[in-house]
A and B are shown apart, each in its own frame.
Chain A
């Protein structure tokens, strides 16, 4: 147990790196090998993660709806989602005759790949990151907006009016909600003075921003959660799918594996936005520290950093899931009203407050 505690993700990563550097002379080769390892381990991490998130969503929904949820396949139904995935894999992937076949098949790839790209700058544990690039936050907010192209592509190429309506809704929605997400991320960047993810986490060593930043950061956290729920097309903002209105929106025509990829992307996106929210506002892998209580801080440090990270991420995921299973869906014009009349003005004024706070040094 003691041995286990001393092994952290970062020590494994450093171990692999030194071993590779020792065995391979060519520095280029080492880099490429490491990239391959990172990619494969990301994939190996994402698939079980999505299984878990799918299971979690079903169970959360079931408990809120006074049901039991999946309880047949595997212990407590935990393998139900695996069975469903196998079913989707075995199903025929139909491509409508009238569709633009190239774009139709490309769209799910784009959606999945963008959501995976955003994983790069996320710090999963202490010193454990795929790519700690210096513009981490900017990278996240710019890459995540590519997903809308995949959705528009899917809607346009399906040759289905429902799909088209869904895609158009999604386009309007993501373009507008990106602003609020960006502005709420900016407020943390202002306070930290850096776009680098590791810097942002380190700046929260003596307290998370949500506690240090007073009310303005709290407001931007709330705006971030709402706007990112909208950005990843989840209820109550799931207008692009809107089952009751558009049957399935942009992925009406998709089936089999291609449909599964949209589902996969949805859960990866859910994880990504929660992870970013956790990193920026709740300190990422940073344990819970209170000012100068050295003893308390020391105890908190004993909990592995990865546990802190995943705990915080799943707390946000749970909130977003609860949104989905509580609220009715907004109408398309109300969706835009919410963004342009409420979230955007508030977050703009909020950024002003945060800036004043940062200049005056009023935060802890």
Chain B
């Protein structure tokens, strides 16, 4: 009885080990199962998902106009002080003064890509870009000004 158990154990153990080797052997002989993406080489074909949160950008149209009114909703919504908006008073043609953005500072190094600023924005002025290669040698380069120089508020955006 003992001997029978002994040999049954050996038989079963060897069987289970061979099963494992069958799996690895299968993948060894089927190179088409390889999952590796050769990343820097496939840059040209690499397509990120359109919702991927890479960094915050402010789209400008062809007249160098953006939609940011300087309401600072995103600055309030941001959990870690990534966004700083400096506003100025702009003189309107009718003589009234109106609040407008001077610089929209975005600290990429602080950003957690939580998307809260984008959802908070009432005028769709900012959105998430799909870029992801953000590494630089100096962290000062991560401090970005999102409004392009000389840009102004789009007509009709309040």
Contacts and interface: CB of A to CB of B under 8 A. Distances in A.
Chains A and B in contact, CB within 8 Å: yes
Contacts of A302: none
A71 B23 CA distance: 24
Contacts of A71: 38
B34 A322 contact: no
Contacts of A67: 34-36
B4 to A, nearest CB: 15
Contact of B27 (A64, A68, A342): A64
B36 A325 contact: no
B112 to A, nearest CB: 31
B36 to A, nearest CB: 4
Contacts of A64: 24-25, 27-28
B20 A66 contact: no
A63 B20 CA distance: 15
Contacts of A45: none
A33 interface: no
Contact of A326 (B20, B35, B38): B20
Contacts of B114: none
Interface in A58-87: 60, 63-68, 71
A63 B23 CA distance: 12
Contacts of B38: 68, 71
Contacts of B36: 66-68
Given A66-B34, A66-B35, A67-B36, A60 B20 contact: no
Contacts of B34: 63, 66-68
A327 interface: yes
B17 A327 contact: yes
Contacts of A322: 21, 24-25, 28
A65 B25 contact: no
A327 B20 contact: yes
Interface in B6-53: 10, 17, 20-21, 23-25, 27-28, 31, 33-36, 38
A342 B31 CA distance: 37
A232 to B, nearest CB: 19
A326 B28 CA distance: 11
A158 to B, nearest CB: 34
Contacts of A325: 24
> Which range holds the interface residue count of chain A?
10 to 19
| Dominant secondary structure of chain A at its interface with chain B | helix
A67 B35 CA distance: 6
Nearest to B36: A68
A166 B103 CA distance: 61
Nearest to B23: A326
Of B25, B34, B35, B38, which is in contact with the most chain A CB atoms at under 10 Å from its CB? B34
B38 to A, nearest CB: 7
A64 B35 CA distance: 11
A323 B17 CA distance: 9
Interface string B87-129: 0000000000000000000000000000000000000000000
Contacts of A65: 27
Contacts of A327: 17, 20
A342 B35 CA distance: 39
A63 B21 contact: no
A325 B26 CA distance: 13
Given A68-B36, A68-B38, A60 B17 contact: no
A65 B34 CA distance: 8
A325 B38 CA distance: 23
A342 B21 contact: no
A68 B35 CA distance: 8
A71 B39 CA distance: 12
A323 B21 CA distance: 7
Nearest to B32: A66
Interface string A314-340: 000000001101110000000000000
Nearest to A63: B28
Top 8 A-B pairs, shortest CB-CB distance: A64-B24, A68-B36, A326-B24, A63-B28, A326-B20, A66-B35, A64-B28, A67-B36
16 contacts: A60-B28, A63-B27, A63-B28, A64-B27, A64-B28, A66-B34, A66-B36, A67-B35, A322-B21, A322-B28, A323-B21, A326-B17, A326-B20, A326-B23, A327-B20, A342-B10
Given A326-B17, A326-B20, 13 more contacts: A60-B28, A63-B28, A63-B34, A66-B27, A67-B34, A67-B35, A68-B34, A71-B38, A322-B25, A325-B24, A326-B21, A326-B24, A327-B17
